[in-house]
Chains A and B, each alone.
Chain A
Amino acid sequence: MKRSSWKEYQKEIADDRYYYARSCIRQNFFPGSETTFLRIMREALGKDIFDDPRHTSCTGIGYHSDIVPLDTTMAVVARQFALATEAGYENIAVSCITSFGLYTEILETWHEFPETEARARENLFKATGREFVIPKNIAHTSDLVFHNREKIEELAVRRLVDARTGEPLRIVEHIGCHYAKIFPKSGIGGSEFPYVLAGMVEQWGGSVVDYPERRHCCGFGFRNYLVQANRGFSIANSRKKLESMAPYKPDMIVANCPGCAMFLDKWQYALAEMENSTYGADGRGIPVLTYEEMAGLVLGYDPWEMGMQMHQVDVEPVLERLGVKYDPAAKFLGRAGKYIGAPGEAAVNSFSGDRIYRIRQ
């Protein structure tokens, strides 16, 4: 694809010294990804990233579900900024796309309507006695990995190519809606042809799959999922995307949004159980990775240390394709070697041949 237009959307990304704003849900669903991000930034790249246990949820999911009022959300976000100010950081690295979209939206609102900023300052001061300086730079953590993609390539132990054939891995990249669809200028590559993940994939030797439903929502969409009656709509949207990408036989999906990675992964399990549909080339599911996991594999990190055993769709096919040496027996051993339990058998992780064999039996 001639993706040259991404170059017209450049955003400033500070090089170092970030206050790290974690995600609420990533730590449950992809618990190793944020740790991997810190490891990459600190150990591999030598950056100063401050991980602050005092910060809270941004309230984004509550805000988008009409549960948390805007004034409350602004005060909570103002508190995150105050914590960064107190810690001496001017740049904020946001792990979650929802939070990133929310911070960006609030800063734009404050810019357009200064009285809302004054009100947020007043509310924050009354509630906590805190004050803040507006951050100089707000970047999503995928922006930071993109920003350092060349350095990561220099440190790489492998490229995103099939270790057996040397062919580039075919990778579907999925960008969270709130990364750039609200403000195209806030994302690398804008909203229509975002380049933040595609740039990593291409830099590290993989090839990006462009498919008809590339821009389509992953199926999360807060109200689609949080309102139980709408969940059929959620899974139908994920199914639409998976069916659209399947003919391209992707080796993996990489996403930069907590909800997208979760839903593209877990709905594959549900679809396989509900209607025996799988979308991978070999009859199994398509592994879904976070960009930190993808970068970690490029840097030679152990997949189980990165928490990749927590995926619903097994990641082993992509590990084997990349030639990653891993210990199958260690998959469900925790940090101290303690068995953490293994999931039951699932259609999404079986070869189609296995399933036919079982039916015949």
Chain B
Amino acid sequence: MKRVIVIGGGPAGMQAAVALKAAGLEPVIVERSDALGGKLRDWHNLFPSATPAREVLDGLRKAVEMARVEVLLHTEVEGLTPDGSKPSVEVALAGGHAVQLSGGRKLEAAAVVVASGFDVFDASLKEEYGYRIYDNVFTTVDVERMLNEGGVALADGSAPRRVAFVHCVGSRDEKVNQKHCSKVCCVTAVKQAMEMRALFPEADIYNFYMDIRMFGPGYEELYQRAQQESRVNFIRGRVSEASPTIDGRIQIKAEDTLVGRPMKMSVDMLVLAVGMKAGSSCEKFARTADAALSPNGFLAPADLFSGCVASGVPGVFYAGAATAPKTIGESLAEGSMAACWVVEYLDTLAK
């Protein structure tokens, strides 16, 4: 059997499917939404190069189309083995996995690549920031959407005169049970602050951060440009609460920890840099596939160094943000890598 099921049609899943097809296998992408692309569909420009997300997405879609990869939309994976038995080497040798799909359909496959991605942290859980309560509190995801729709504006359509970004909303926060760093929010907030500067040359723009984590190539340079060229103010301190003012603005309180003083300011727009949390399907998948979960709820790879796309379950491989917060580039790399591991695994079985 040459069929390989790829769970999730985001960047990692699409990349894995294209690579599997090129290796002579028959990938089938199972995607629960109505289109391929995952959350990349909602992004505007990608950090740090400001490459339009559309360019990357169109390239991937075209590759999937050209490779004639089979795609099942509006379909979810219910479990790895329909009879409830645990996958094993014996099952794999006997012909692979049986994947139970929504609607009662069953697909047999020689291997499975899990590229089910992440969920965006629900900012309304950080109640003190007033998301979905005050009209001019947004998330970085909302800002990407507004940029895609043609422009950023306050709820009444006017331009903000002062914008504040809050980093680490739903990341490194025990109170909401999200202890991990989501990695990409810092650079996203820096990128969006620079985009705001371009849109609103006269506005005051502030970023409130705990630490600035500029881990990727070109990120630190972007951060420097944000300060020097885009005149973005960076304040080290977490915002403690947001409240409405009588003129419809938002009052925020924080501690400027470098100065050691509490501070209070009113802004027109508050943007919450929301983190990446484990995908809602991770737990169920891990249970049915007998796979391990990390303490933060993401799927745990077999080895963080030499087996980061391996699951520890025969024939099951991981790619992208199903195992941890990742950038688009990292997800694409893991998609290719997971395909290589599938090929090697099937070659070994055949021998």
Contacts and interface: CB of A to CB of B under 8 A. Distances in A.
B124 interface: yes
A212 B243 contact: yes
Contacts of A3: 133
B127 interface: yes
A192 B127 contact: yes
Interface residues of B, number: 11
A108 B48 CA distance: 48
A329 B128 CA distance: 47
B246 A190 contact: no
Contacts of A210: 243-244
Central interface residue in B127, B128, B132, B251, by most chain A CB within 10 Å:
B127
Which of A4, A191, A192 has most chain B Cβ within 10 Å?
A192
Nearest to A1: B133
A281 B246 CA distance: 15
A2 B133 contact: yes
A5 to B, nearest CB: 6
The binding surface of chain B is classed by DSSP as: mixed
B244 A247 contact: no
A224 to B, nearest CB: 16
A211 B246 contact: yes
Nearest to A213: B243
Contacts of A213: 243
A25 to B, nearest CB: 28
A5 B133 contact: yes
Contact of B246 (A4, A5, A191, A248): A248
B108 interface: no
Contacts of B124: 5
Contacts of B132: 2, 4-5
Q: Interface size class for chain A?
A: 10 to 19
A4 B132 CA distance: 9
Contacts of A193: 127, 133
Classify the secondary structure of A's interface with B.
Answer: loop
Given A2-B133, A3-B133, A5-B133, A192 B243 contact: no
Interface string B12-26: 000000000000000
A172 to B, nearest CB: 13
Interface string A162-205: 00000000000000000000000000001111000000000000
A86 to B, nearest CB: 40
Interface string B185-205: 000000000000000000000
A215 interface: yes
B256 interface: no
Interface string B240-268: 01011110000100000000000000000
Contact of B127 (A2, A190, A211, A247): A190
Contacts of B127: 5, 190-193
A1 B243 CA distance: 11
Contact of B244 (A1, A4, A190): A1
A266 interface: no
Contacts of A1: 133, 244
A77 B245 CA distance: 41
Nearest to A191: B127
Contacts of A191: 127
Contacts of B128: 192
Contacts of B246: 211, 247-248
Interface string B219-241: 00000000000000000000001
B252 to A, nearest CB: 10
A214 interface: yes
Nearest to A240: B264
Interface in A210-234: 210-215
A214 B133 contact: no
14 contacts: A1-B133, A1-B244, A3-B133, A5-B127, A5-B132, A5-B133, A190-B127, A191-B127, A210-B244, A211-B243, A211-B244, A212-B245, A214-B243, A247-B246
Interface of B: 124, 127-128, 132-133, 241, 243-246, 251
Given A1-B244, A211-B243, 10 more contacts: A1-B133, A5-B127, A5-B132, A5-B133, A190-B127, A192-B128, A192-B241, A193-B127, A211-B246, A212-B245
